[in-house]
A and B are shown apart, each in its own frame.
Chain A
Amino acid sequence: MLKIKDLYAGLEGKDILQGINLEVKAGEVHAIMGPNGSGKSTLASVVAGKEEYEVSRGYITFENQDISELDPEERAHKGIFLSFQYPVEIPGVSVTNFIKTAINETRKAKGKEDMPASEMLKMIKEKADMLEIDRKFLSRSLNEGFSGGEKKRNEIFQMAMLEPKLAILDETDSGLDIDALKVVANGVNKLKSKDNAVVVITHYQRLLDYIVPDFVHVLMNGRIVKSGTKELAYELEEKGYDWIKEELV
């Protein structure tokens, strides 16, 4: 589904990603772990198409099509979703109006009619219930004054509504208490199928108790330096990252 080949990318001519190779197949869950500043969020932003990042070498394909030159909205239309580490506050636009706009714009891009209002309402209700989101929450301005946990839950709500093929969850566990973490993870697991894939970016192994990865990758200095199975996450939790650094030397 997603193939990243020898990817160098960064800001203002300085590459933060230094030769990433990664393949994510349908039905898989990948975790990307690594210390602060290793390039985890950059990788997420580059895959989602943030324009300020420049790709200097390598390429990204999604379903066998090179997406390196596509706009963020075009990538979204293909089914790529990024759950933001820091979701942006948009005062004056309610969660409901935002998600309606996102869904109908995506449908429009695929040549489909707007989703009928009744169907939309039903879907909103269903997904909000699944994530234990209060109805009042949906009429509030997008992310404005939301707690850290509310913001993250709202991101997963959007994911549930947009039903992406590939979801990249950037530090979705930060700011969540254990109960909220379970609800969010449970939501992600319910959305999981053999046809879609999830990439979980995290500092800590904690989230991986609930969203169990098939593969774990360690990102350091813009490169994937080690890959393994879920056991690698436990090892990192226990021993930190220094032993990998030593291994590399």
Chain B
Amino acid sequence: MSFKDKLLSSYIALEDYLEFDSPLHDVRNNAIKIFEEKGFPTKKEEAWKYTSLNSLLKPDYSVYSNKERNVELKNVRKYFLHEIDTYKLVFVDGVYNSFLSETTHDSLDVCLMSSALNKSKYKPVIEAYFNKVAKSDSLTSLNTAFTKEGAYIHIPAHKEVEKPIEIINFSTGNEAAMFLQPRNLIVVGENAHVQIIERHQSLSSNEVLTNSVTEIFAEKRAYVDYYKIQNDEATASLIDNTYISQERDTVCRVHTFAFGGNLVRNNLNFYQKGEHCDSTLKGITILEGKQHVDHNTLVHHIAPNCESHQDYKGLFAESSIGVFNGKIIVEKDAQKTDAFQQNNNILIDDKATINAKPQLEIFADDVKCSHGCTIGQFDEDALFYLRSRGIGLKESRALLMYAFANTVLESVKIPELKVRINKLIANKIGVSLGFEL
């Protein structure tokens, strides 16, 4: 049985447990139909030209894990940004772990999708927002059909959340191969501020495939600062689908740090629905071995007088493969748009590959759009300069890597996170320089 068939029959089994009178029931049924029709994307589709899912669909994945797996704090402590000073939503093999989590209902909701779906008091929010910005492509639809658990975060108007929220998905490897589909809904009220860190982490070398969907709604004047840390095991793959809906005067920033994992596909979509929106999409990708990371971004300028800033830096060693596919659409009404996109790549070894494809579709006539894409090697003059000061070749290269990544790193607003990412970069490039940027 193919993985697709397995999923379709699992859905039939799941349906028996679902409430038929829930408004979600139709949403799920429609979604599974879309997945059934479209199936998994293939390289024939333009958006998947450089990334094949074939090898990921072969293992015999467990689709459910209903048992709560135990994970000891001492084994996972290092994956948390902070033990006390963050809210935490921790899921182990797709199941909520109350012991490791720190939720709240005290003036804001940091809790579970499962309770939001089942409790009547959340019903208006679910009805107003759930699946309202997500695309109906096959992978998102697959996630929608199986929606069960994930983060539910609701920040009321004018609330400034005093500490970051961490969303962490662990997989234990208790199953030989695990398929996970977290579903997150984040609603940030008018003039509310929030910082969120998301991480997927496998705790074994068994195979894991995650197909995650996150919907974020920023109501007017809201501020959302979102960080994705992708530094997983070599047997863990991730398809991360993020949809951000921005009302007027909002600032939304997403930083993606792609350092690990087997195959990662980031589908990051911004929709600017009101005037004076500001969107920032930044990323540092550092790969080695046979790692493959595909950044597929969309900034959809629908309303006038908005800005978007994209800055993706990639360093590719050994036989690793990077893809950057950045699409900017400026609608006819989106006059005075200022859209900027930059993608710089360094190929460290001869066998490394980068496929870069900026796409601009502009229908308005009074806009400022610019994009720049570079693919190169280390600057020999810069290397000579550093080496002539007594800095070895390896360290000189590392210094240039730090310098290269710095434009992304410098805009990380959580100091502890910045330190953490600095360490991850040092580990990844195998050199510690004795200072942080």
Contacts and interface: CB of A to CB of B under 8 A. Distances in A.
B384 A93 contact: no
Nearest to A48: B388
B395 A91 contact: no
Contacts of A101: 391, 395, 399, 433-435
Among B387, B402, B407: residue with most chain A CB under 10 A: B387
Interface string A150-193: 00000000100010000000000000000000000000000000
Contact of B391 (A45, A50, A91, A105): A105
Given A92-B410, A114-B434, A102 B390 contact: yes
Interface of B is mostly: helix
Interface string B13-45: 000000000000000000000000000000000
A93 B390 contact: no
Interface string B118-158: 00000000000000000000000000000000000000000
A90 B389 contact: no
Interface in B364-391: 379-382, 384-391
A108 to B, nearest CB: 9
Contacts of B419: none
Contacts of B390: 73, 76-77, 102-103, 105-106, 109, 162
B351 to A, nearest CB: 22
B393 interface: yes
Interface stretch (A5-13, A81-89, A211-219, A229-237): A81-89
A91 B403 contact: yes
Contacts of B84: none
A162 B390 CA distance: 9
A51 interface: yes
B417 interface: no
A75 B387 CA distance: 9
A76 B435 CA distance: 22
A88 B387 CA distance: 12
A71 interface: yes
Contacts of A45: 384
Contact of A104 (B386, B406, B407, B434): B434
Q: How large is the interface on A (under 10, 10 to 19, 20 to 34, 35 or more residues)?
A: 20 to 34
Interface residues of B, number: 29
Contacts of A103: 390
A72 B383 CA distance: 10
A76 to B, nearest CB: 4
A48 B390 CA distance: 11
Contacts of B403: 90-93
Contact of A105 (B395, B406, B435): B395
A100 interface: yes
Interface in A34-84: 45, 48-52, 71-73, 75-77, 81-82, 84
B400 interface: yes
A77 B392 CA distance: 10
Among A49, A93, A104: residue with most chain B CB under 10 A: A93
Contact of A102 (B391, B402, B406): B391
A200 to B, nearest CB: 17
A15 to B, nearest CB: 20
A227 interface: no
Contacts of B12: none
Contact of B387 (A76, A84, A92, A97): A76
Nearest to A50: B384
B1 interface: no
Nearest to A109: B390
B406 to A, nearest CB: 3
Interface in B387-437: 387-393, 395-396, 399-400, 402-407, 410, 433-435, 437
Contacts of A84: 385, 388
A100 B434 contact: yes
A162 B404 CA distance: 25
A92 B406 contact: yes
A100 to B, nearest CB: 7
Nearest to B379: A88
Contacts of A109: 390, 392
A90 B400 contact: yes
A103 B399 CA distance: 14
Contact of A73 (B381, B382, B391): B391
Contacts of B400: 90
Interface of B: 379-382, 384-393, 395-396, 399-400, 402-407, 410, 433-435, 437
Given A73-B392, A158-B389, 13 more contacts: A48-B384, A50-B384, A87-B385, A90-B399, A91-B407, A92-B402, A92-B405, A92-B437, A93-B403, A93-B406, A100-B434, A100-B435, A102-B386
Rank and list the top 9 A-B pairs by shortest CB-CB distance, nearest first: A92-B406, A76-B390, A106-B390, A72-B387, A102-B389, A92-B403, A88-B385, A97-B435, A73-B387
6 contacts: A48-B384, A52-B380, A72-B387, A81-B388, A92-B406, A97-B435
